[in-house]
Amino acid sequence: MRLTLCPLFSGSSGNSIYLSCGNVRLLVDAGMSAARVEAGLREIGVDVRDIDAILVTHEHIDHVRGLGVLCRKYGLPVYANAGTWDGILLRESGIPLRCVRTFDTLEDFYIGGVNVHPFPIPHDAREPVGYSFSCRGLRCAVATDIGHISEAWMDAVTGCQALVLEANHDVDMVNRGPYPAHLKHRILGRNGHLNNEDCARALLRLVKAGTRAVFLSHLSQDNNLPELAYNTVCGALHEAGYDVGTDIRVSVSRRDRVSDMLVLESDDVQAV
């Protein structure tokens, strides 16, 4: 059995992540235009019509931009909790009823043979969630748009072999940058976004519990740099005695194009 994970896009301009296990193919979020999502999937050899479902983390536009068109064009089922649906439907009223699937946060459900566990995250949305996925002993998770480290989401992703984990900003870059005070407060607040240092702190705990690969994701275009996020996280791992590349694979998700595909097979982690 193989589990594959591939961020198609990641950042404030749009987010979408492809995941498959066995014959189940999923998208987490559709935050670029439908055409861009389709093109990203084609690049990794996947036809959008073969997607079994889209799972939405929250209603912000960089996570749902292409949702309406994909639903109307292909009839794809969309899973979200009640709070997120309220937010989506304020902006996008044209989603066919046949596509709507509603779950309760913290209650597991299945899509084919994949167990989906939605868990709450601290973010300034109506009812934001991350997701962990389990399939025949393989586990991965998506945890972005998280304002601070909390035991709730850490518990939910502990034991996952692979993660899409937020490393949104460098605190000094935010403080020195040109953003207005209210926007800086939002980014740095407990319901904003996770900074590089906190991402590293979280990952140090997760590596001990079995995490072997991570995509550093949702990087800010103005308040972070890919090499800064990578060096901050890898520096912390190295200082704690971990060998990056052997003990854990660290990649930075790309903003406007498809990232590498990660393949899990039992305890093996491979890049394709």
Indicate whether 153 pLDDT > 70. Answer: yes
d(Cα 25, Cα 111) in Å, to the nearest integer?
Answer: 9
Tens-place pLDDT, residues 26-40: 999 999 999 999 999
Q: What is the pLDDT of residue 265?
A: 86
What is the structure's pLDDT at 269? 63
| Local confidence band at 207 (pLDDT 50, 70, 90 cut-offs) | very high
CATH number of 3-258: 3.60.15.10
Residue-wise pLDDT tens digits, 210-223? 999 999 999 999 99
Domain range summary for the chain, segments of one domain joined by +: 3-258
pLDDT of 271 > 70? The answer is no
Q: How confident is the model at residue 91 (pLDDT cuts 50, 70, 90)?
A: confident
Q: Return the percentage of the chain with pLDDT > 70, whole number.
A: 97
User: Whole-angstrom Cα distance, residue 10 to residue 143?
Assistant: 12
Give the span between the Cα atoms of 168 and 208, in whole angstroms. Answer: 23
Task: Determine the longest span between alpha carbons in the chain, in angstroms.
Answer: 52
In this predicted structure, the answer to whether residue 224 has a pLDDT above a threshold of 70 is: yes
Q: Which of 5-14, 91-100, 141-150 has the lowest mean pLDDT?
A: 91-100
How many residues comprise the chain?
Answer: 272
**Mean pLDDT for the chain overall:** 96
